[in-house]
Structure 1
Amino acid sequence: MSSNQNPMVIVIGASAGGMAALKKLAAQFPKDFPAPIFIVTHMSADTTGEALVKVLNESSSLACVQAHDQQTFESGTIYLAPSDQHMLVAKGKIRITKGARENRSRPAIDPLFRSAAVAYGNGVIGVILTGYLDDGTSGMMAIKRCGGVCIAQDPEDAAYPDMPQSVIANVGADHCLPIAGMGALLSDLLRRELPERGEVPEDIMIEARIAERVLSDLPSVEALGDQVPYNCPDCGGVLWQIEEGDILRYRCHTGHAFTSSVLLTQQNERIEETLWVALRMFEERQNLLVTMSKNESKRATSSVSQRAKDSQVHIDRIRAMLKATDQDSYGEEAR
């Protein structure tokens, strides 16, 4: 993998705008690139990832393949995480798991980054590219804490700057630059001599094992943080709060994990879903009351009509809340 005594690996995370960014980066790798490259890009469960594999094979002199479980890896090859599964790096091989989603994603960037940090310590070079919100920030912090190198795309060069901005603000990038300069930088970094590896912090080990489904229980999450009065939006279980510097993250005992911003986004979506259900039920109630008023006695009709009017008040209030929710969501997307 590397001429250094310690082997080196490159892990890359991307989300929105990732295909164009990865195509541009992959085109810069020479044929004799001396390290394996592992890529996680957010994709929906109903996609195969074959389109990106094809794009990278056409644009790069390196072979790009979709990773599979227990696959051994070698330098000069790009390994892409398959859809709806996490890709993890172990010593000399790849693990593909159906672990719980992190930051609403599977594959997610953080599990790959943490697993690489545990397996290769200061031999890991992490690269975070364009994308929404902050998946990859916690994993990049794990890489830094284990002595690895953090590279962030210049936010002004990114189609969607949230992810690199989060890494820069919360982790501190060793290198922040446009994609056009990353190929040469990576080649230079792979030539450096590495010091002896240090110990992997216990909390990083625990979270890496959770992703492998080796650990996913109450003692594990209790060792990471404190229980808080919030529920996991994916499974309904209680959450534990994990503090990493200025970052707040949350985990449930089944393995789902969220940064505070992703958790807030999930809560907003659940609130909106609940409001739509409530609106439908109030409208159905009002329609039933109107139908009843046409078939009741005059005295009863007055009571039923009033109840229908009361329902309209609730309908108007819910519609106003949904309108406000739409405006907030639009503002968040614009940001």
Structure 2
Amino acid sequence: MSAPSHLIVIGTSAGGMPALVQLVAQLPATLPAAVLVVQHFAPDSDGQHLVARLARHTPLHCRLPTDGDVLESGTLYLAPPDRHLLAKDGSAPYLLVTKGPRENHFRPAADALFRSAAVAYGARTVGVVLTGMLHDGTAGLEFIKRCGGVAVVQDPHDAEYPSMPETALRNVDVDYVVPLDQMGALLEEITRKPLPERKMDIPEDLKQEAAIAERVVGTTEEVTRIAHPVPLTCPDCGGSLFEVNEGKLLRFRCHTGHAFTADALLRSAQHSLEETLWVALRMMEERKNLLSSMAARGEGPYSVQQEERIEEMKKHINRLREFLLNGGGSNSSTVRNTED
């Protein structure tokens, strides 16, 4: 196998395996590129089974890579479960398979793969976002564009889960939006085009972020080179967050290496708030029940005082319950009427 002239990096989530099967069936064994794939699946998934499934539908050589594997053209590399897949430039470009910090709560993360590919291959990188939920891959496409590469997104109307393609289209100047049945021919055409003679410089901040992702734990000194501190907390480790200085997308990092888009951070904060409110509601109901039991055993003024406290507690419970019902939680229908 020869060294690839291009890297095609693909990110997908919900509905991803059927989409990948349809796409890789269109790619020829003579493809001059290596294909690197991040598919979100459970940490205990059988990666070899997924590779075998793809191999049955494509002439590409399909592999579950190991750390240090040399990149080869005509080969598909599927990120192993619970491991980041990263590309690294060298005398012979190769792969890193690491258990570094999650990005947007994902490992493997499309953003991490896309960034490393953009730094290693520059304008010879083609980023592809397929069907999936949420927004992994959006920042990654921006990284690729900043390094002169090409951004391709599955037509949201063609995607089983359009959230990932739609988010990418809202935030990145995408080059091509196509349905799956046209994507194979497009990728082959892109990888066979001659490249511009002038090599585009790789932004220093992306080099720094790629270096951070290569290690299991980063440092405060590294992150302060590319970001500034903000009064927010990392939802994964509890450390301080830093707002990344460059790029159109609002993004955040902590010094240990976790990374988030603003959307991912907002979603995480909403989830944490919801969980906290459910705990508060449960504790308030327990307090009301205790006060009711105390009042039932009391007499005279003390009993009247307890009844007043119970009525006040019921008001607080009902306000909190109404908030959860109207927008606080996905399980709001399970809340019982606390007046019962």
Which residue of structure 1 aligns with residue 40 of structure 2? 42
SS in 2 for 1:130: coil
Change (3 A) 1:302 1:100: same
Which residue of structure 1 aligns with residue 251 of structure 2? 249
Matched, 1:15 2:13: yes
Residue range with higher mean Cα deviation, 180-189 or 317-326: 317-326
Which residue of structure 1 aligns with residue 104 of structure 2? 103
Distance 2:29 2:306 in 1: 78
- In the alignment, residue 80 of structure 1 is paired with which amino acid? L
Residue range with higher mean Cα deviation, 139-148 or 305-314: 305-314
Change (3 A) 1:329 1:228: farther
Query: 1:34-88, CA deviations, whole angstroms, 9 ceiling, x for partnerless residues?
Result: 2211000122323233443232122222232222222223222211111212111
- TM-aligned CA deviation for residue 201 of structure 1: 0.8
Q: Give 1:61-76 correspondences, 5 Å limit.
A: 61-76=59-74
- In the alignment, residue 18 of structure 1 is paired with which amino acid? G
Which residue of structure 2 aligns with residue 139 of structure 1? 140
- In the alignment, residue 7 of structure 2 is paired with which amino acid? V
Distance 2:61 2:267 in 1: 37
Which residue of structure 2 aligns with residue 197 of structure 1? 199
- TM-aligned CA deviation for residue 249 of structure 1: 0.8
Distance 1:215 1:235 in 2: 12
Change (3 A) 1:83 1:285: same
SS in 2 for 1:68: coil
Which residue of structure 1 aligns with residue 211 of structure 2? 209
- TM-aligned CA deviation for residue 308 of structure 1: 2.2
Distance 2:134 2:263 in 1: 7
Distance 1:28 1:300 in 2: 80
Q: Give 1:261-300 correspondences, 5 Å limit.
A: 261-300=263-302
Which residue of structure 1 aligns with residue 262 of structure 2? 260
Structure 2 unaligned residues grouped into runs of 5+:
333-340
- TM-aligned CA deviation for residue 329 of structure 1: 9.7
Distance 1:324 1:47 in 2: 37
Tell me, yes or no, if the aligned pair for 1:85 and 1:107 is still in contact at 8 Å: yes
- In the alignment, residue 97 of structure 1 is paired with which amino acid? T
Q: Give 1:323-334 correspondences, 5 Å limit.
A: 323-325=325-327
Match of 2:84 among 59, 83, 86: 86
Structure 1 unaligned residues grouped into runs of 5+:
331-335
Which residue of structure 1 aligns with residue 220 of structure 2? 218
Residue range with higher mean Cα deviation, 93-102 or 163-172: 163-172
- TM-aligned CA deviation for residue 328 of structure 1: 8.0
SS in 2 for 1:150: strand
Q: What's the TM-score once normalised by structure 1's chain length?
A: 0.90
- In the alignment, residue 319 of structure 1 is paired with which amino acid? R
Which residue of structure 1 aligns with residue 338 of structure 2? none
Distance 2:151 2:48 in 1: 28
What root-mean-square deviation, in Å, do the aligned CA atoms of Structure 1 and Structure 2 show?
2.2
Residue range with higher mean Cα deviation, 45-54 or 219-228: 45-54
